[in-house]
Amino acid sequence: MDWAYFLQQLINGLTLGAIYGLIAIGYTMVYGIIGMINFAHGEIYMIGAFHSLITFLICQAAGISGILPLTLLLMLFVSMVLTSVYGWGVERVAYRPLRGSFRLAALISAIGMSIFLQNFVQISQGARVKPMQPLVEGGITLMESANFDVQLSYMQIVIIVLTFVLMVVFSLLIAKTSLGRAQRACEQDRTMAGLLGVNVDRTISTTFVMGAALASVAGMMVTLYYGVIDFYIGFLAGVKAFTAAVLGGIGSLPGAMLGGLLIGLIEAFWSGYLTIEYKDVATFGILVLVLIFRPWGLLGKPEVEKV
Amino acid sequence: MSAAFASSRTNGSEVVKELAFFAVIALLMSVMLLGVETVDRPTGLELAVRWDLVLIAIGATVIGRLGLIFRRENISRLGQAVLITLSAVAVFEMFVRFRELDDRWVSPVFLDMVFSSVVSTIVGIAFVAIIFATAYFTMKDKTAADVDESAKLSSKIQLAYRSNTKKIGLIGIIFFIIFPFIFGEDRSAIDLATLVMIYIMLGWGLNIVVGLAGLLDLGYVAFYAVGAYSYALLSQNFDLSFWLCLPLAGIFAASFGIILGFPVLRLRGDYLAIVTLGFGEIIRVVLINWYDLTGGPDGISSIERPSFFGLADFSRRVPEGTIGFNELFGMEYSSMHRLIFLYYLILVLALVTNFVTLRLRKLPIGRAWEALREDEIACRSLGINPTNTKLSAFAIGAMFGGFAGAFFATRQGFISPESFTFLESAVILAIVVLGGMGSQIGVVLAAIVMIGFPEMFRELAEYRMLIFGAGIVAIMLWRPRGLLSFRDPTILLNMSQKEKVAGEIK
């Protein structure tokens, strides 16, 4: 067994998993609060990626791309703000009028929204793949072996650390602030929360905004990490992130992160040791297995069927 | 009631605030994706700025919002219509500008285009007039009585629809049967009708799963793919004829349905949806990567066309030992014969699907599906085995998907994994839900709206899917329960269908 290779796949998997986890949080929060699959969330992530790419290009044109930390912070901030507005807008236009209607209506509306956003970006930014030059280069060599050096790039460190920080901040937000309390209240019983003075509409909007902000960070990371984006990246990432959310137990924040990491690891190891072509099959295969034997996910609570 | 409306009137400064808020939202949404374009250059990406699009987007949003405020506050109907029309024209202008990148500031492109020739002037004026008229007549000054009135009207339409389903269905079938006689020489019309018919069949097949049994299936296209590939492979590797492969394709698809369904049908709605979606993707990935069998992304080409029930052939040069269709009936050779034959073939297949569904609905198994959709726990306590019941719905739905797939393969003569993407599943599901779940005629209506219209507007090319997506959202917002209403369970305790609708009117 080649431990160096194993370690490298582990690092790659964790990086990928962090990105999936960030997207998965958006799914899990929305599902927790209004019980619907926000199908357009993958598209929000894609829009986040485009926002960060364009912000970078603007920085480059303005001549401040040399100052790396400033550029990165600007990309992060601008993309988070602008993408959140999309999250808000999608909820406002496509979901809010259908709240209280039957379940499938919102799902179909979400699918329509997803098709719309994809094509909107395709038309406004072109269908070609957008390349992005690497901003954060270099890395640390962790281990040297005969035929293989284990590399931990600075970009991977940035991704993992940033994900960790965001996770901590959001967990605190949910656990400690009045906003988080309102969210948890809405999750348990929307009507009751409304009667007790929680502004339900605003809480749900905030949930979408938070999910979109996290997805935009994931989008920015992917732009920097892989260096290519196009208008179609949202679909597969969205499906996988949803898989991650289900795997971790939908409705649970730590579950989403754990699910994301697991999906990332499975994908990395599968492509590393088996066939790279069938990595998506592996992901979905795992999902099916989990759902059969533990439908409430790893960290979720089993739902009691009520008559 | 009028007092309540009067008290909800917002004052001027609040309106200004609201408009400013939406202007900011529109600015934030459009500033980068619309305002800046990434252009590929040999040196890398570069930026092109188009602030005019941002301005138009903001303008359209603000004007549209003002129109909605007018509507909310019951201010002049004319004003509402004018504002909505203006907003629509602004959106149109924006799309036109995507194409015309030079001389942007010279003049509004829309006006430019409209007055460039007589035809475009007429088209432009007609466009504005249609939007204006629609806006004017749908945005009535709504009072409480009017709301009541319109609800009554829609119930009446529904009552009329429900008590006349048979007649409507019959008229529809007759129309589709005589369709080739009307458009016999128009190749594109027949092609379009065949395409719509494929989707009607798929919609009816999925309707069994989603509409009757209430199982949300996001991967229906997988069965369609299984059907298509099983016909293509059987015909190429074993030289079997279409008529032998058609039932085989259905059987294969149904077996896939059972294999997939068996482990996952215990899951609740949304989980089931995502697993079926995953299954659809797995099938596609396998089709792409199993190069030896499926030809990978290249697909399978020159798939055999169907013969006239094995009796005659449709090609111009008939192979040895067979006779041509035209010779059999003593007609001139025409390439339209095959197309019309294919049209009737899919029509018959679709009608079979419909007929089987209608019959199944009356059988114990159909009753069990509907009961399961309404209340699973009650069913279980009454001794219905939910897994087997769901499995049968899944398998039968899959079988019809397989038939449609085999037909698709023989019609196109070429298949590749490209044709079986998630988008297809979404379109089929959208047809079922937009039509009104469980409603057979609704599926036909939705298929015509969703497939027929976009195909007719092929020139819109890249905007087609954009409008398609927006259209789905719009129809869902307008009629969340589908174009034609939901199908209630075929039998209800103590209440006949008519009484129930009559109850709704009151």
Domain residue spans of chain B: 2-142, 161-505
Give the closest-approach CA distance of A76 to chain B in angstroms.
Answer: 14
Q: Which band of pLDDT confidence, cut at 50, 70 and 90, is reported for residue B240?
A: confident
Mean pLDDT of B199-226: 89
Q: CB contacts < 8 Å between A and B, how many?
A: 182
| pLDDT value of position B152 | 64
A241 contacts chain B (CB < 8 A): no
Max mean pLDDT range (A61-70, A195-204, B304-313, B322-331): A195-204
Whether pLDDT at B465 is above 50: yes
Chain B residues touching residue A295 (CB < 8 angstroms): 266-268, 271
Instruction: Output the average pLDDT for chain B.
Output: 77
A116 CA: distance to closest CA in chain B (Å): 4
The C-alpha of A115 sits at a distance from chain B's nearest C-alpha, in angstroms, of: 5
Q: B338 pLDDT band (50/70/90 cuts)? A: confident
Q: Quick check: B109 pLDDT over 60?
A: no
Mean pLDDT value of segment B180-204: 84
Per-residue confidence (pLDDT) for residue B1, from 0 to 100: 37
**pLDDT given for residue B103 in this prediction:** 43
Q: Tell whether the model's pLDDT for residue B321 goes beyond 70.
A: no
> How far apart are the C-alpha atoms of B421 and B273, rounded to whole Å?
16
A289: distance to nearest CA of chain B, Å? 9
The angle, 0 to 180 degrees and rounded to 10, between the axes of the packed helices A68-90 and A200-226 is: 140
Which of B34, B423, B473 has its CB closest to that of A109?
Answer: B473
- Chain CA centroid to CA B200, Å: 9
- Placement of tokens 């008290």 in the chain: B7
Cross-strand pairs, A139 = A153
Q: What is the pLDDT of residue A45?
A: 94
> What residues of B are in contact with residue A121 (Cβ under 8 Å)?
33
Whether B32 sits inside 8 A of A55 (CB atoms) is: yes
Mean pLDDT of B69-74: 76
Residues of chain B neighbouring A53 (CB-CB closer than 8 A): 38, 45
Residue B116 has pLDDT above 70, yes or no: no
Question: Which range (A177-181, B234-238, B279-283, B463-467) has the least confidence?
Answer: B463-467
In chain A, which residues have their Cβ closer than 8 Å to the Cβ of B488?
Answer: none
Q: Cβ distance B273 to A37 under 8 Å?
A: yes
- Give the containing element (helix H, strand E) for B40: strand B36-41
Nearest to B462 among A123, A284, A287 (CB): A123
DSSP calls for A4-31: HHHHHHHHHHHHHHHHHHHHHHHHHHHH
Q: Say yes or no to pLDDT of B19 above 60.
A: yes
Residue of B nearest to A39 (CA): B274
Q: Lowest mean pLDDT: which of A94-108, A279-293, B61-75, B100-114? A: B100-114
Options 1.10.287, 1.10.1760, 1.10.3470, 3.30.70; CATH of A2-139+152-293: 1.10.3470
Nearest to A125 among B38, B429, B434 (CB): B38
Task: Determine whether the interchain pair B469/A116 forms a contact, defined as Cβ–Cβ distance below 8 Å.
Answer: yes
At A305 the pLDDT is: 55
- Decide: residue B464, CB within 10 A, 0-12 exposed, 13-18 middle, 19+ buried: middle
Contact A119 B434 (CB under 8 A): no
Q: Between these two residues, A293 and B349, which has the higher pLDDT value?
A: B349
Task: Label residues A84-112 b or e (16+ Cβ within 10 Å = b).
Answer: bbbbbbbbebbbbbbeeeeebbbbbbbbb
Handedness of CA B183, B187, B188, B194 (dihedral sign): positive
Chain B residues inside the 8 Å CB shell of A47: 33
Report yes or no: A274 at the B interface, CB cutoff 8 Å.
no
- B4: pLDDT confidence band, cut at 50, 70 and 90? very low
Whether residue A54 and residue B463 make contact (CB cut-off 8 A), yes or no, is no
Q: Is A81 on the interface with B (CB under 8 A)?
A: yes
Residue contact B45–A132, C-beta within 8 A: yes
Strand intervals (E) in chain A: 130-131, 139-144, 149-153, 228-229
Nearest CB among A85, A94, A288 relative to B473 is that of A94
Q: Do A287 and B477 touch (CB under 8 A)?
A: no
Which of B221-235, B255-269, B380-394 is least confident? B255-269
Taking the domain B161-505, which CATH number applies? 1.10.3470
Q: Is A77 on the interface with B (CB under 8 A)?
A: no
Is residue B430 scored above 50 in pLDDT?
yes
Distance (Å) from the C-alpha of residue B241 to the closest C-alpha of chain A?
33
Choice between A154 and B460, residue whose per-residue pLDDT is larger: A154
Q: How far is CA B475 from CA A129, A225, B445, in A?
A: 32, 39, 13
Q: Say if A114 is an interface residue toward chain B (CB within 8 Å).
A: yes
Give CA–CA dist B187/B336, Å, rounded: 7
Burial of B304-335, coded b for 16+ CB within 10 Å and e otherwise, reads: bbbbbeeebbbeeebeeebebbbeeeeeeeee
DSSP state of B488: P
Mutation to test the A interface, candidates B434, B472, B481, B488, most A Cβ within 10 Å:
B472
Please tell me which residue, B469 or B270, carries the higher pLDDT value.
Answer: B469
Q: How far is A91 from chain B (nearest CA, A)?
A: 12
pLDDT by 10s per residue, chain A, length 307: 577 788 888 888 999 999 999 999 988 888 888 888 888 999 999 999 999 998 988 888 888 877 888 888 888 999 999 999 999 999 988 888 888 777 778 888 888 899 899 988 888 887 788 888 777 777 777 777 766 777 788 888 888 899 999 988 888 888 888 888 888 888 888 888 888 888 888 989 999 999 999 999 999 999 888 888 888 888 888 888 888 888 888 878 888 899 999 999 988 888 888 877 777 888 888 877 877 788 777 887 776 655 4
Residue of B nearest to A288 (CA): B275
φ and ψ at B300, to 5 degrees?
Answer: -120, 125
Q: Which residues of B touch A117 (CB under 8 A)?
A: 469
Largest CA distance in chain B: 85
* String of DSSP letters for A27-60: HHHHHHHH----TTHHHHHHHHHHHHHHHHHHHH
Tokens of B386: 């939910």
What confidence score (pLDDT) does residue A227 get?
84
Report, as an integer, the average pLDDT of B255-271: 80
Q: Which residue of B has its CA nearest to A240?
A: B278
A86 neighbourhood in chain B, CB within 8 Å: 29
Is 60 exceeded by the pLDDT of residue B101? Answer: no
- The closest CB to that of B282, out of A82, A88, A284, belongs to A284
With a cut of 90, say whether residue B269 has pLDDT above it.
no
Instruction: Quote the crossing angle between the two packed helices A200-226 and A41-62, to the nearest 10°.
Output: 60
Above 80 in pLDDT, residue B186? no
Suggest the residue from A41, A124, A276, A281 to mutate for an interface test with chain B (most B CBs closer than 10 A): A124
User: Does the distance separating the beta carbons of A277 and B32 come in below 8 Å?
Assistant: no
Query: Which pLDDT score is estimated for B131?
Result: 73
What the block records as the tokens of B119 is: 């035809």
pLDDT at A48: 93
Query: What is the distance between the alpha carbons of residues A53 and A65, in angstroms, rounded to a whole number?
Result: 12
Whether A119 sits inside 8 A of B466 (CB atoms) is yes
Contact at CB, A280 and B281, closer than 8 angstroms:
yes
* Residue B221 confidence (pLDDT): 92
Q: What is the pTM of this model?
A: 0.84
Q: Which of residues 34-73 of A touch B (CB under 8 A)?
A: 37, 47, 50-51, 53-55, 57-58, 61
Q: Does B153 or B438 have the greater pLDDT score?
A: B438
How far apart CA A241 and CA B298 sit, in angstroms, is 29
List chain B residues with CB under 8 Å of A278. Answer: 285-286, 289
Name the residue ranges covered by the structural domains of chain A. 2-139+152-293
Confidence of residue B255 (pLDDT cuts 50, 70, 90): very high
Task: State mean pLDDT over B22-43.
Answer: 82
Smallest Cα–Cα separation from A282: which of A262, A300, A296, A297?
Answer: A262
Contact B434 A108 (CB under 8 A): yes
As a whole-number percent, the residues of chain B with pLDDT over 90 amount to 7
CB-CB under 8 Å, A116 with B473: yes
* Residues of A in Cβ contact (< 8 Å) with B266: 292, 295
- Chain A interface mutation, best of B37, B39, B45, B377, highest count of A Cβ atoms under 10 Å: B45
Question: Which of A103, A291, A304, A305 to probe the B interface (max B CBs under 10 A)?
Answer: A291
**pLDDT given at position A280:** 80
